[in-house]
Copies of this chain bind each other. A is one copy, B any other.
């Protein structure tokens, strides 16, 4: 694997990356990271660069601590071990202390409550990570409502500084996941420019559960379409994504010299693919139906919906990433990706998204893929807070704080 052959970067290498970063034209300070398509190509690249720089700093035992004290707020609506650890690791690396904000799970706050809570948690806060992916049509809106409240708080002189918001998964996009996934691809293929023309199969896959959010596939096509890739989006009929996101991705794909094809055949998507990302998600209309049931806490309604949805899912058990399907890919060696945890046939379930032998072969790749997330989050926070990130990072390298006395 290309990624593994990489030499560890030394201090000179880090300074060169910082120099490259300093040449990017970016306008990220004071803004949030909610959707990748709101960021320019240079801004996307800057985020990758800062993540790589921070990772290399840590590997060289140089402390990337930007803060001596400060609060980072984590606002989750579900129990996500992975995201919690990624966010905590990113914040800790930067010197921030994570304080959890646990709101009720069935109700999204609005209006006065959002305005007030946003202020109360932000007097000494630098960053807010929000994960809200259950309610189609609401997660992104909520994040923007928090953002607006923070802007008002700063304008009124109530908040000394604007905490930056990082979208840790919304109903629309999952930028920390997709950016980590693509930083993995950058390292795997040896550069962002190497992705041009590569075929990526973002496909639905069977899972014995239902209600998985749409944000991962949407995030992947929304980002892949920036780099001139040949995107094949495949799913059984009825498992549509949010139409706007697909349309936007299609437009972006064309603009970047690539293309987006929608198909209802997993084989077709896999054929000659360089990368495959087989992953279950709920049909758009099921997610829509779920929202009022969740709000009402209607357990029997949810049970009923689950039953119907699972019965429908069961018609597509052949949407599994098997060895046979992998043989269809370029030289039979496409890179398998997954945001984890995967539903592995005969391991975590009787029939799932991926065959055990396929997953086994790519396990370490998926772990490596995940390992970029803390650095991506740290990069989003720093870039969202400071105008002169390159200068700050250069100062950190020159300051040479030691992370670990070893």
Query: Which residues of A line the B interface, CB within 8 A?
Result: 4, 58-59, 63, 65-71, 73, 79, 81-82, 84-86, 88-89, 92-95, 97-99, 101-102, 111-113, 115-117, 119-121, 123-126, 153, 156-160, 340-341, 344, 347-348, 363-364, 367-368, 370-371, 374, 385-386, 388, 392, 395-396, 401-406
Contacts and interface: CB of A to CB of B under 8 A. Distances in A.
Contacts of A119: 367, 370
A121 to B, nearest CB: 5
A88 B93 contact: no
Contact of A367 (B58, B65, B158): B158
A405 B66 contact: yes
Nearest to A66: B405
B65 A68 contact: yes
29 contacts: A58-B124, A63-B69, A65-B68, A65-B69, A69-B92, A69-B94, A69-B95, A70-B92, A79-B102, A81-B101, A81-B102, A81-B117, A81-B120, A82-B120, A85-B120, A88-B97, A88-B99, A92-B97, A98-B99, A119-B370, A123-B370, A123-B374, A153-B367, A156-B367, A158-B364, A158-B368, A386-B406, A388-B406, A392-B405
A98 B99 CA distance: 9
Given A67-B403, A153-B367, A341-B116, A93 B124 contact: yes
A contacts with B: majority SS: mixed
Nearest to A97: B92
Given A65-B68, A68-B65, A71-B89, A340 B120 contact: yes
A246 to B, nearest CB: 30
| 9 A-B pairs with least C-beta separation | A89-B124, A156-B364, A158-B367, A92-B97, A63-B68, A88-B99, A119-B367, A66-B405, A68-B403
A46 to B, nearest CB: 17
B85 A99 contact: yes
- Oligomer: number of copies: 3
B92 A124 contact: yes
A92 B84 CA distance: 19
Contacts of A370: 119-120, 123
Nearest to A399: B405
A117 B82 CA distance: 8
A259 to B, nearest CB: 33
A68 B371 contact: no
B347 A69 contact: no
Contacts of A368: 157-158
Contacts of A406: 66, 385-386, 388, 392
Nearest to A348: B112
Contact of A71 (B92, B156, B348, B385): B92
Contact of A374 (B79, B124, B363, B371): B124
Contacts of A388: 406
A78 to B, nearest CB: 13
Contacts of A160: 58-59
A98 to B, nearest CB: 8
Contacts of A101: 81, 85
A340 B120 CA distance: 10
Contact of A395 (B374, B386, B395, B405): B405
A73 B116 CA distance: 26
A29 to B, nearest CB: 10
Contact of A401 (B68, B88, B374): B68
